[in-house]
Chains A and B, each alone.
Chain A
């Protein structure tokens, strides 16, 4: 008996011998990359940085994520320290990075860099996880984190709150730009995980009523420097 793989490929090739008609479209197909072609049809991500930042702020507000804009790195340290006091965080895990280390040092609570590996149980008990990100998508209010650039897979999902520290220059207009950026930056060696985070974790499974903090963080803060 031939193996399953060759069997399935044989079935596919046989099936595709007959061509299928093109779907009924509203307009004529346009040649080119999907994101470029569809750009004028998709939700706006802003043509200028200012426009993108306005859209981003609106999107994040709708998603019930908190945007904190600060002029420089030292005010970011201060803002996150204040946040941790207001929220009474006792333990904060963070991704070790030139921008996050001063923040961790400025917190008045226990902090812990997870990059060298960590105990799952201990991470679960953390009040917040602090990470950087790869990019921020204005069009959708989505934050792109990665397993290499944001302290692995669990840091941005397991602690009860997630704080993202980013620069204004990391804001891109739309999803297509963010995907292109990831492709250009990582080429054929993609991080094992790339995740677009669009607001705090949520569910509507009970009577379709929105509840925040289903399994992931209940709170999401984006601290934007610049």
Chain B
């Protein structure tokens, strides 16, 4: 019972039965809906703006070799060092190598989902480095020893009492139930760490090919500090984050903030082009960028679902997803939760082990409507289901499809089957049906109609 599917079923059953927790998540998201609608209303045409954002990403992803080449040439010209990693292990080795060469002791990190994807903290800690997450939500999750619950709101499921207790235990601070006071505790604690750290690790939201800059979006200012004070700045990014021109950000940055957090723009949107210049007072001496494939090219090779690489990780699809709101982020067991996680995880980590996530959907399409870059999310869940059935059909799939095609090709057999089914339905209503227990618990079988659809049709249109 330790395969991802069984764990998912077990965890999701527990969390979806927890009414208090579900109400808490709903309440936490309440403010987001209000602010998002307020900000969306400022757009003169939100739908057309989505078109522009989708096209900016579509153009870059479908010309990835060219824009990536241009980006890295410009990045290197600006004085940064590019490293390429085919997979998670290579990326970890590169970063460990940089840390070793720099004889680093303390490392401070700002929020970077790609680093969660490659389990970077584990690797750094095993190698003896002190690593501290500086984003408040990530800091809390790190102290809790738990993965992020939501890739934009990492600790949205944790109540303030629990955070207060956590801080008392780890930082020795007096208990408080004020979010403001708790934030200030973390602020005071982390400030010294930026000053002391040798290496700052950040993610990247966009790589700008035209200028060779990386763009980082954040609210707290921790990424700004992480890239300002330590001697070395390492950024880790997936290869798909590239956009062609600086001008594309004029649409992408505001839409990322509005869709993801209901803000006009996130507090800090920062473009880094290189290490400190000689005419600047501060900044890191070295600037490294690790570009990660880690199966992204596998997703790229699927033209049907290639648009999943347009994702700007705003989190909007999670915030509107009825499944996410009911089972919560941890039950997914993935780095990327919610609809986008269910779409891409099978590509990144294996369709066979992760296809069950495609089933965890009501196919309501709320995610597709919410996505600022128009990723066809709920259809991709269907595509994954289809691909899984094609790639490794279960015996049930196989038997069912054989049986189905045998019957459907013989109208008389189909009609006979229907007749038998209608006749036995009253009986079935009384029997406990095998494999249908969970479904039947909350549903009744309807009455059987006297005649089949085909009979009715023939009669009414005679």
Chain B residues positioned under 8 Å from A34 (CB to CB) = 52, 55-56, 245, 247-248, 250-251
Do the beta carbons of A179 and B282 come within 8 Å of each other? no
Chain A residues positioned under 8 Å from B137 (CB to CB) = 203, 205
Of residues 20 through 61 on chain A, the ones whose CB sits less than 8 Å from some CB of chain B are: 20-27, 29, 33-35, 37-38, 40-44, 59
Chain A residues positioned under 8 Å from B254 (CB to CB) = 42-43, 139-140, 175
Interface size classification for chain B = 35 or more
| Given known A-B contacts A158-B225, A198-B267, A206-B163, A38 and B78 have beta carbons under 8 A apart | no
Task: Check: B121 CB closer than 8 A to any chain A CB.
Answer: no
Q: Which of B57-65, B329-337, B417-425 contacts A (4 or more CB under 8 A)?
A: B57-65
With CB as the reference atom, state the residue of chain A lying closest to B164.
A206
| Given known A-B contacts A196-B253, A214-B220, A41 and B52 have beta carbons under 8 A apart | yes
Chain B residues positioned under 8 Å from A183 (CB to CB) = 211, 246
| Given known A-B contacts A16-B62, A196-B253, A8 and B225 have beta carbons under 8 A apart | no
Task: Check: A70 CB closer than 8 A to any chain B CB.
Answer: no
A127 to B: closest C-beta gap in Å: 14
Do the beta carbons of A153 and B179 come within 8 Å of each other? no
Task: Check: A121 CB closer than 8 A to any chain B CB.
Answer: yes
Question: B180-208 vs A: 1/0 string, CB under 8 Å?
Answer: 10111011001100010000000000000
Q: Which of B154-162, B349-357, B383-391, B397-405 contacts A (4 or more CB under 8 A)?
A: B154-162
Chain B residues positioned under 8 Å from A63 (CB to CB) = 264
With CB as the reference atom, state the residue of chain A lying closest to B140.
A205
B60 to A: closest C-beta gap in Å: 11
Task: Check: B274 CB closer than 8 A to any chain A CB.
Answer: yes
Bound CA span A198–B272, Å: 17
Of residues 104 through 139 on chain B, the ones whose CB sits less than 8 Å from some CB of chain A are: 134-137
Please list the residues of chain B having a beta carbon within 8 angstroms of any beta carbon in chain A: 28-29, 31-32, 42-52, 54-56, 58, 61-65, 68-69, 77-78, 84-86, 90, 134-137, 140, 153-156, 158-160, 163, 179-180, 182-184, 186-187, 190-191, 195, 211, 213, 219-222, 224-225, 227-229, 239, 245-251, 253-254, 261, 263-277, 279-283, 287, 291, 293, 297-298, 300-301, 303-304, 306-307, 310, 373-376
The contact sample of 15 A-B pairs, CB cut-off 8 A, is A8-B239, A8-B291, A14-B301, A20-B307, A25-B54, A34-B247, A42-B250, A152-B281, A157-B221, A174-B250, A190-B213, A192-B272, A205-B136, A208-B28, A209-B31
